[in-house]
Structure 1
Amino acid sequence: MRDRFKIQNVGISITDLNDAVKLIMEQANSKTPAYVCVINTRATYIGNHDPDYCRILNSSFLTVPDGKPIEWYAHASGLKQVKKTSGPDLFESICSTTQNEKYTHFLYGSTPEVIQKMKDNLLIKYPNLQIVGAVSPPFGSPEELANDAIVKLINKLKPTFFWLGLGAPKQERVMDLFIKSIDSSILIGVGLVFDYQAGNVKRAPIWMQKAGMEGIYRLIQQPRRVNYRSLSVLFSIVPQILRILFIKKVYGKS
C-alpha cells in the first residue's frame, strides 16, 4: 500500500510506474486478491460526483495516476515523486516482467474480434506469456458482468492477473463486485489498452504524452465523443492546479 494524495475526495496513490509494478508483483506473490484502479481526469471527475464510485477508487489496493494532469497536480502540491502511471505502460511492464515466469493472465472485455487480436499480438510480442483465459462478455450491467459463472472460472483458473477492458467507471464497479468473491487474483482495469494491443487504436505520440495531451489525442480518434461535457471533464483539473500554484505563490503554502 502507498499513502495517497487527494484531488477533492478521490485519493490517488503516491507512486510511479516502477513502484506500482513492484507493489503489484509483491501483492501477486502473496496470493492475496486485490484490485488496482488506473484513473485519469475523467475518472477523477466521476469519483468526485459519485460517492459510491469514489468509495471504490479509495478502497483499492492502488489507485494510480494515469495522465500528466494528475502528475502536475501532485507536483504542484509538493509531491514530486508522483509520476504518470498509464494503463498501457503498466500493462506492458507487467507482461514484460512475467513473460518467462510462473504468472498467468486472463483478459476480460471488449469484442470477440478485439480480444482475439489482442491475444494474438501479445503472444507474438511475448511468446512465453501465459494467457489462461480471454473472454468478451456480452454488454451488460456491472452485476451481469460479475456473474457467478465468471467468478467460478476465475477461482478455477486462478490467474495471477485478471485484466479488465470495460472502460471507466464500469470496470471499477465490476472489480468492486469481483473482489468479494475471488480467491487470489490481482484485478486491474485498463480500459482502452485492449484496443491499443489489438492495433485498433493508436496511442498518442510520445511528445503528446509528455505534454499532457494524450486525452485530447484519444478524443480526436473518437470524434463522436467530443462535446462540451467531454472537454469540460478533460480540463476540469486545470483550475485546481492553478489554485494550488496561486496559493503557494501568495501564501507560500499548499
Structure 2
Amino acid sequence: MKHSFVAERGSGGPIIAFMGEYDALPGMSQVCGIEKKPANEGAPGHACGHNLLGAGSLAAAETLAHVLETRGIPGRVRYYGCPAEESLGRIPMVKAGRFSDADAIMTWHGADVNTPHRYTSSANLSLVFSFKGRASHAGMAPQAGRSALDAAQLFNISLEFMREHLGPGILLHYVISDGGDRPNIVPAHAATFLYVRAPTADIVPLVMKRIMKAAQGAALMTETSFTSEIKAGKCDYRPN
C-alpha cells in the first residue's frame, strides 16, 4: 500500500511489533510535506493525536531493540508504518498478510491519561450514498427536474429521526459531499458521506437494513435513484 512500510531490527524470535500509524485530516494548519510547517502560525497542525502515534511507537520500538541488542536477548523488533489511520489503512495490510508472523503487536493512542487499557472500540462502516435525478432550469421549468439534492436531504433527515431508536452506542455521522452544481439548476446528482458506528460488528448489518430503507424511501419520494458504495469498515477492537 502506498506510503506504508515495514522496518525490523534483531534476529531470531519472538517477533514483537509496534503499530506506527499516521494520518492527516483536512482543515489542519500543516503544509503538505515531511517537515513541520504551519499554514497559519499558531493554528493546530494535527488532530486526534496523529502527530504522536507514529513517533511514539518508533521511540518504543527503538528502545526495545536497543535493550535486546545490548543484553544479547534473541528476538526481532518490527515497526509497521501504516498510513490512513482514520480510514483504516491497516486493513489492506492485514489482508496482505503483513502481520501473520508477528508474535505480539502493540498499539496505542493519545488520551488524557497515561495508562494501559482493556476497553474496546466501535465497529464502523463508512459509505457514500449517491442520488441521481434529472436536471432542469430551476426558474423556468423546475417541474421538469427531479432533485437529487432533495433526495439526499430527505435521506439525511431520516437519519436524524432514526438515531433515537437505534440503541445504545450506535452513532451516525454524515456530511453532504455533493450538493449539485448551481442553485439555478435542479441538481441531477448529490451524495451523502456516512459513518455508521456500533458497539459490535454484528450490529452494523442490522442498522444498515434500516438505513437502506431510508435511502429507498427518499428516492421513491423524489422520483430519483441511488447507489451506495462502501469505502471502508472494521470490526470492533478486541484487546488481548
TM-score range (shorter-chain normalised) is under 0.3
More strand by percentage: 2
Over alpha carbons, which structure has the higher Rg? 2
TM-score, normalization by structure 2: 0.25
TM-score, normalization by structure 1: 0.24
More helix by percentage: 1
